[in-house]
Structure 1
Amino acid sequence: MKSKTLPVKNITRLATATEALMTRAPGAPGMGLVHGHSGFGKTTAIAWMNNKKNGVYVRALATWTPSAMLTAILRELRRSPRGSCSLMTEDIVEELGRTGRPLFIDEADYLVSSMKLTETLRDIHDISLVPVVLVGMDKIEDRLRHRKQLIGRLAQNVRFEPADAEDAQLLASQLCEVTVKPDLIGLLHDKSGGSVRNIVVGLARIEQKARALGLGEIDRKQFGTSELFTGAQ
């Protein structure tokens, strides 16, 4: 199996939204929201986009306080945390404003119940003028609606949807080092529930079976009743 990020539809929509945030008009809101069910590839996509845009990526924790969040961001910026939250916010705003690097906050569901955390991120966005992208689970959009000042700054909203049959075909053709026939790809897609994670795991299992049989290509009949290990069977 090869390891690379491919332009499935969710990735394409994320790339379009991020580019829109990066090139927005002066004064326009620049926050983004990426959300969807587990397994649809959000974290992998955000890591890819973060590398592509030389962004700043942090993963929120359930234990985060404003000080802990600011410290995590500063460490990613290679800056030493200092003094109060106000001073740390100033340092972050200065560094982000100077470099223009976007800020990605994964597992942002942990933040939405705290006004101090969400308002601190809003301050960072408003003063530094860089994109701030929150990444969370499917219900995070509903949970953010009571944060009126924050939700009003969301210029891009990317919902990760289940992978479709075309996505599954792309993944099979580009990741597998054996040829997976359309009937087997169709079975895998049906069993996967549209989870990119499950499709990739299933493709690895299919490739393993093909190699064990000495095959350069494999179809549904040849794969037989072996488990796909998609977690959705």
Structure 2
Amino acid sequence: MNDIRNIVILTGAGISAESGLATFRGPDGLWEGHRVEDVCTPEALARNPALVHRFYDERRAKLAEVKPNAAHEALAALDAAWPGELLIVTQNVDDLHERAGAKRLIHMHGELRSAFCAACGRAVPWVEALPPASPCGGCGQPRMRPDIVFFGEMPYEMDRIEEALRRADLFVSVGTSGAVYPAAGFVQTARHVGARTIELNLDPSAGSFYFEESRMGPASRLVPELVHDLLA
């Protein structure tokens, strides 16, 4: 891999599952007992704000019980040592990448430990419960909500992600389903510009056929192996 300088790494629920966090959508189509449509859409928030806020309060509290695993730590080590461009794009809303030490990171779907005001757009760190109608410290409006990108909303920093993909020599997808767009389309952008593409996953994703190489197994083994090869 001596010809690689610019890297984009996409991570999904599979990388955090080994730390004890539930994947976004289980085999039964539910996220920890809830239909996604009941907890992760603007309509759900408008219809039942108490349920939606409580759901994310519980997910936020769960973060105190888990810690980064070897995959998070390996990516943080790559972040610290890689001399070229590197961008870790995570679909996850947990903070395990940061706690492992990653710096070059985008949470494209938002963060559990953040809240933002639907009135003025101000985002602030948040670690406690977030009751519905909490007032914004900036504009004062009672419109604070979980800083989560719901279905139907635009993911964060897409321009920056697309620019990094256009410059990439290597694109790696770790623990993703390959079924949620726009992230599922990143591999196609990377291939279009001639980047090498590698998938690391427990099982083939919905978009496995787009990748030049697929390595199957737990992220806690596959990611450190890949990072070792890159830094060798």
TM-score (norm 2): 0.29
Q: Which is richer in strand?
A: 2
Q: Which is richer in helix?
A: 1
TM-score (norm 1): 0.29
